[in-house]
Structure formats: structure tokens, C-alpha cells
Amino acid sequence: MKSLWFLEDVNLFTILCPHQFKEFKDSHQFYFFKKNEFVYFEEDSADKIFLINYGKVKIGYVTEDGEEIITAILSKGEIFGEKAILGEEIRNEFAQAIDKETSICPITTNVMIDLLRENKEFSLKIYKFIGYRFKKLERRLQLLLFKDTKTRLKEFIKELSEDFGYKNVITGDIIIRQPYTQKEMATLIGTSRPTLNILLNELKEEDYLDFDRKEITLKNHRKLVN
């Protein structure tokens, strides 16, 4: 059930952070953010890529109507701001810390390109990862625009099962180790936490899933295609 989201269980931070390399170690510094502090804003210069050491960061943008749209919530070992190595010069999204304390490794675009150039196999994985994230974002935005909230939730759980799930070989259930709080899940599917809780309980009554704070259990993986 693994996907490119995990890059075959590779923690990007442990491989790409410049403090791992002798030539960069002495000059490299981490950034630290408190809850709700911004790493960058829309329209900022896109001259760095960031790796999360610990904590969580949400990525999103604000519509012309002032509505905040969240496209991703990222945690330890994940990369963001990656469009800078694809030629983006100005940010078209914001990045905001959402944990009490978040530690981030900044990498300038030039240094990142040098690091990737030294390992062609890994650089290929990075570009595949970026392509996967773009597809994931496009799919999520389509759901927000054209699907009802319950359908968005079921599709989101399907996505979680692909990224974080494993199959119980005895029952055929899929167990998802919950990476998000209910508040974060609600944000990602564009609804409120009370509505999310109502829908989760509806799906539980329909025997579609079971859930607690740590796990979501899909009772029968074939229901994903329904």
C-alpha cells in the first residue's frame, strides 16, 4: 500500500539536510517557528526549499473572496516549497507552522540543485514525488469544487489508505494510522470539525469504517470503489 508520498520510506530530511554534508555543516542553520507563524507568504521570493525536522506545516492560498484553501498538511521528513527548483520565482501559496514548535531546514535553490546533481537516482525520485504531489493537489481541488462533503471525506480516506494504510490479512480490513487530527482533516476537505464528526459517525453506522484518535479502520477495502 506504499506510494511515492513516502519515497519508499525515505526520510527526505535525513538525506538532503545540508547539516549532513561536511562542506555545508558549519554554515547551516535551522529555522524555528511557533504556532501560526508563517514560513513564507504568497508573493514572497521563491529562493529556498524547506525540509521539516519536526512539527507540522500547512500549505495553502487565499482566494479573491478571502477564503483560505488548505492544500496540504506536512510533517517530519517532508519537503515543501519544492516548486522553486522547477523555476518558480514568486510563491503562489503560503506556508504556516501549526504545531506549538516547528523546526525547519532551509536549503537555497542552488544548494538543492547541487545536492540533487550528485545523486541522479535520488533526484529522479524527488521529481517523481513532485509530480505525484501536483496530481494529488489537482484531484483534491476538483473534489472541493465538484463533490459533496461526504464524497470528499470518502475520497480523502481512500487517499489516506494509499499513503498510510496497511491490510489486515485476516479480516481484509485496511488499517490507517491516523496522521491528522480531526481539525486538520476537516480543513483539508473544506468543512467544519462538527460536520466531519457527524459524517464519520454516519460512515461508522453504515459499517464503512470504524475510527478512534489513532486509527481509521476500513471494514472492507472493496468498499473503496463504491
- Residue 192: give its domain's CATH number: 1.10.10.10
Tally the domains of the chain.
2
- The reported pLDDT for the residue numbered 48 is 92
Q: Which of 95, 128, 145 is the last residue of a domain?
A: 145
Is the separation of the CB atoms in 12 and 52 below 8 Å? no
Q: Which of 145, 165, 183 is the last residue of a domain?
A: 145
**Parent domain of 36:** 4-145
DSSP 90: B
pLDDT (average), residues 6-32: 56
Percent of the chain with pLDDT over 90: 41
- The reported pLDDT for the residue numbered 225 is 44
Together in a domain, 154 and 137:
no
Together in a domain, 99 and 172:
no
- Cα separation, 47 vs 82, in Å, equals 10
219 CA to centre of own chain: 25
Local confidence band at 150 (pLDDT 50, 70, 90 cut-offs)? very high
Q: Which of 145, 175, 200 is the last residue of a domain?
A: 145
> Beta partners for 49?
107
Burial (CB count within 10 angstroms: exposed 0-12, middle 13-18, buried 19+), residue 36: exposed
Together in a domain, 39 and 134:
yes
Whether the pLDDT of residue 19 is over 90: the answer is no
pLDDT in tens, 158-185: 988 888 899 998 888 999 998 888 999 9
Q: Which three cell numbers stand for residue 12?
A: 527526505
Residue type, 196: L
- Cα separation, 79 vs 88, in Å, equals 16
Burial (CB count within 10 angstroms: exposed 0-12, middle 13-18, buried 19+), residue 158: middle
Together in a domain, 112 and 57:
yes
**C-alpha angle 171-174-178 in degrees, rounded to nearest 5:** 140
pLDDT (average), residues 59-78: 88
Most confident of 18-27, 141-150, 197-206: 197-206
- The reported pLDDT for the residue numbered 5 is 34
pLDDT (average), residues 216-223: 74
- Cα separation, 103 vs 225, in Å, equals 39
Q: How many CB atoms lie within 10 A of CB 107?
A: 23
pTM, entire model: 0.75
